[in-house]
Amino acid sequence: MLQGNTVSPQVKSFILNPQIADSDIPFAFFGLRTVQKVHFQPDNCLLNKLSDETLQRIARQLSFSDFVNFSATHTRHVSFLRSDSLIKEIFDRDTSMTLLLLEKANHKAKCYLGCQQWNDQWLTPDAVIEAFPDCPQSKMGIAHFKAKCCLRGLTLNGQPVTPEAVVEAFPDTPEGQLELAYFKLKCCLQEQRLYGRTVTPEAVFEAFPDTIKGKTSRACFIERYCLRNLRLYGEPVTPEAVVEAYTDCPNGKILVARFKEQCYLHGLTLNSEPVLLDVVPGACPRIDCPTGNCSCVALAP
């Protein structure tokens, strides 16, 4: 896929405009662009002596924005260069255009889930799914949307979204595995069954990948179990286990210091000794969720 040039705010605003249908964007785009000043007469331009096939090969190497200017410059070939198939092909190959369509699809998902209208009309979940462009990044956006529909009991294609469908939607990547672990946590909290079985805290614990973010999320997860005296694998989670888990995480010292503060406030011991803070409670850097995802701390009381 071609990496396009930096998109101007005007172009971005045009593509994200709710009044412009996604299918119309590649073609309506021609009416937006201002043709750059040409310092030679098109009829005398050497490019105008080239065959249509050669100009098409040149056009396929351009970003979509450059292609619009290029086709507008060569009026003799305008009908050939502006064929629907060529426009769509070049538009779809431009990464910058695809990412804007992805952003637009995410906006639609937020509108639907937030019970807001899009272009004065109510969206359907099927329309949201169809808005995501055909690119790897869309897989995560679609999976997130399906997960929220599942947890809220919403339908897709007239059918309830099952937890199994959500699991299959997440991409098999480190990021996808981490988000899947968060989804399993929510299923655990809402007592949703997955493949016919209750999602246990142990299943959630094992779902976190062995990545930097995954290890931090797992440590944050067991910290909450420790502070709330919940059991994992049939045993209470000890403060020592939490400290050990945070040791391998980025900013481990800060996270351990924050956890020790919580131990002090909850009256917990560490290594069979009362926790004595080296700093005044509350002086540790505030980190509500080390992973940036509040799912890992949203545990049942």
Please state the length of the chain. Answer: 301
pLDDT, average across residues 254-268:
91
- Grouping H, G, I as helix, E, B as strand and the rest as coil, residue 232 is strand
pTM exceeding the 0.85 threshold for the entire prediction: no
What's the burial of 283, exposed, middle or buried (CB within 10 Å: 0-12/13-18/19+)?
exposed
pLDDT in tens, 218-237: 999 999 999 999 999 999 99
In what helix (H) or strand (E) does residue 235 lie, and over which residues does it extend? strand 235-236
**Mean pLDDT score of the chain, rounded to an integer?**
82
Cα separation, 63 vs 98, whole angstroms:
12
Q: What is the pLDDT of residue 44?
A: 42
